[in-house]
């Protein structure tokens, strides 16, 4: 265990190391700066002296004097080599420092010009001005000086090693001092820790009190611990009784939670059945009109047929009567066919939607056609409003999923728009949009109504949240939508809205639902 004592030691060591490191870095920077300045001054002075003394000797071709001047400037260890070149003969004279520190003379053979001279070369021209007269100075040669940074780098490395040794020595002394001083504090704390561990794991009646003979701050802590232990002994009995009561309360709470979940499931099922019941009533009312028209047309056709039959029987059939009968029969047949087809379409849509919602079976279906069926089943409810419902879904999107659950989702979202987004006689637009996205399909139900209040936007999918409390709203419609999308389809649903600018419910679900729970829908690209 990495205890407080070890952490304090690490903190102090780190602080001292950082402070010494910063101080050493600052000193190292200034040392490097001073060494660089001194080296620069030495180089500038050496070149200046060579440019002053060498031109006259080189003009007179006095090689011994040139050698003497060059040898005199080889004293600093930073100078690796000095080569003097004449404009006509090339290398005139030169000295170099060997690896053992001795000074050697450059030969005049061409091979010696390509020798491995280390260091950084600095080239300077040698200009000679004749004594007297105003003649311009003439370039009589050049000098190449190789400088080495080995001395500077060695000095800096030695300074780094010295600083590291100081840091290590101070850290060792600090660790030793802290180890000795912190024992005075932490030994009693360890004793107190052991007492607390026994108090937490054993019955307090079995634990002896700690010795409290110390007359310092730690002694006061130990005496406080003993007082707490005596009080704990008195509390244990009451705690045991409270634990028994808590166990009984926990069992009662668990049972109440189970009953609450059952009640919630019952409410959800009742909401779905109520939606199906409203669908039955609306479709029944809608079917009544085409069936009535078909029945009336059949009655008119029967009367016309009876009249024609009587005329034929009496032998008083005229051409005008036949033409009139044919017109009546054609119109009646047209009305019967149209209204029978309309009733059959409504019955088929209702039958498919009702079967899907009751059975919750999985099957393959085409999305656009199924949305049309759902919208047809909602027409009896939407006819009482001023809403225009539009479908924006390309054909050919096939799903292998739960159509009943999808119908429940679309029904709840559309009716939620009709009930909450508009006033009873307010015109508006609701759009159902669907797009395929690889193995997923993205759908949206949007409206241009009043929007969702900012205080409810984060809680619209919570159960029992509604803006029509006391007006028939249960607050379960969007919660059912959320559970179906997330739990049954394995998708995701989001809502966006602004006051006065409508609302948009966007949900994503897989085109083929796995038997096991599918992964959550990915975010659209």
List b or e across 342-361, with b for residues whose CB sees 16 or more CB atoms inside 10 angstroms.
Answer: bbeebeebbebbbebbeeee
Residues 6+ apart with CB under 8 A from 149: 39, 78, 119, 120
Q: Which two tokens stand for residue 48?
A: 């200046």
pTM (predicted TM-score):
0.39
Q: Where are the domains of the chain?
A: 4-160, 234-346, 360-525
DSSP string, 1-35: ---HHHHHHHHHHHHHHHHHHHHHHHHHHHHHHHH
Q: How many CB atoms lie within 10 A of CB 525?
A: 5
Of 457, 430, 413, 434, nearest to 508 by C-alpha is 434
Query: Does 360-525 match 4-160 at the fold level?
Result: no
Q: Is the dihedral of CA 174, 175, 180, 181 positive or negative?
A: positive
Decide yes or no: CATH 3.40.50.720 for domain 360-525: no
For the domain bounded by 4-160, which CATH number is listed? 3.30.450
Q: How many CB atoms lie within 10 A of CB 404?
A: 24
226 contacts 198 by C-beta, under 8 angstroms: no
DSSP string, 129-160: --SSS-PPPEEEEEEEEEE--HHHHHHHHHHH
- Per-residue pLDDT of the chain (525 residues), as tens digits, is 556 667 777 887 888 888 888 888 888 888 888 888 888 898 888 888 888 888 888 888 888 888 888 888 888 888 888 988 887 767 888 888 887 878 888 764 333 443 567 888 888 888 887 766 566 778 888 889 988 888 888 888 888 888 888 888 888 888 888 777 777 667 767 777 677 677 666 666 556 666 666 666 667 777 776 777 777 777 777 777 888 888 888 888 888 888 877 776 666 566 555 555 555 555 565 566 677 777 777 887 788 888 777 878 887 777 777 787 788 888 878 778 767 766 666 666 555 555 545 556 788 999 999 998 888 878 877 777 888 899 999 999 999 988 888 888 898 889 888 888 888 888 999 999 999 999 999 999 999 988 888 888 888 888 766 766 545 455 677 888 888 888 888 899 999 988 788 899 999 999 988 755 444 455 554
Beta bridge partners of 443: 434, 507
Q: How many CB atoms lie within 10 A of CB 62?
A: 14
């Amino acid at each position: 265990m990495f205890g407080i004592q070890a952490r304090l030691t690490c903190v102090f060591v780190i602080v001292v190391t950082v402070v010494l490191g910063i101080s050493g870095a600052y000193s190292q920077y200034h040392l490097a700066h001073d060494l660089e300045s001194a080296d620069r001054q030495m180089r500038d002075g050496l070149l200046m002296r060579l440019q002053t003394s060498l031109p006259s000797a080189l003009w007179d071709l006095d090689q011994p004097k040139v050698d003497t001047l060059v040898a005199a400037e080889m004293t600093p260890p930073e100078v690796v080599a000095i080569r003097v070149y004449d404009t006509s003969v090339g290398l005139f004279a030169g000295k170099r420092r060997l690896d053992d520190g001795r000074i050697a003379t450059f030969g005049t053979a061409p091979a010696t010009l390509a020798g491995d001279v280390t260091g950084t070369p600095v080239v300077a021209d040698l200009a000679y001005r004749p004594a007297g007269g105003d003649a311009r100075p003439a370039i009589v040669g050049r000098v190449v000086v190789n400088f080495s940074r080995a001395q500077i780098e060695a000095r800096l490395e030695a300074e780094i090693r010295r600083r590291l040794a100081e840091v290590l020595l101070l850290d060792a002394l600090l660790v030793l001092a802290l180890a000795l001083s912190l024992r005075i504090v932490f030994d009693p704390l360890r004793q107190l820790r052991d007492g607390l561990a026994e108090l937490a794991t054993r019955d307090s009646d079995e634990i002896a009190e700690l010795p409290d003979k110390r007359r310092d701050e730690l002694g006061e802590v130990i005496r406080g611990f003993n007082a707490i232990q005596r009080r704990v002994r008195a509390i244990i009995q009451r705690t045991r009784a409270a634990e028994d009561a808590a166990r009984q309360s926990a069992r009662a709470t668990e049972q109440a939670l189970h009953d609450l979940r059952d009640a919630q499931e019952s409410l959800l099922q009742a909401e779905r059945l109520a939606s199906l019941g409203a669908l039955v009533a609306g479709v029944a009312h809608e079917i009544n009109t085409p069936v009535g028209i078909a029945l009336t047309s059949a009655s008119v056709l029967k009367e016309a047929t009876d009249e024609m039959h009587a005329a034929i029987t009496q032998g008083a059939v005229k051409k005008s009567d036949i033409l009139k009968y044919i017109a009546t029969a054609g119109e009646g047949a047209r009305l019967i066919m149209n209204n029978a087809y309309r009733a059959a379409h409504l019955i088929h849509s209702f039958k498919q939607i009702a079967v899907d919602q009751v059975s919750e079976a999985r099957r393959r279906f085409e999305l656009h056609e199924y949305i049309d069926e759902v919208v047809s089943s909602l027409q009896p409810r939407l006819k009482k409003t001023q809403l225009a419902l539009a479908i924006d879904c390309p054909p050919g999107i096939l799903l292998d999923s739960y159509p009943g659950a999808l119908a429940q989702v679309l029904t709840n979202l559309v009716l939620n728009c009709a009930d909450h987004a508009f006033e009873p006689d307010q015109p508006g637009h609701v759009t159902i949009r669907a797009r395929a996205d690889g193995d997923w399909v993205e759908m949206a139900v949007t409206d241009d109504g009043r929007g969702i209040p900012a205080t409810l936007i984060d809680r619209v999918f919570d159960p029992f949240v509604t803006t029509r409390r006391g007006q028939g709203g249960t607050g379960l419609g969007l919660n059912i939508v959320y559970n179906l999308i997330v739990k049954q389809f394995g998708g995701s649903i989001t809502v966006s809205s602004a006051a006065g600018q409508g609302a948009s419910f966007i949900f994503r679900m897989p085109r083929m639902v796995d038997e096991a729970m599918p992964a959550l829908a990915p975010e659209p690209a």
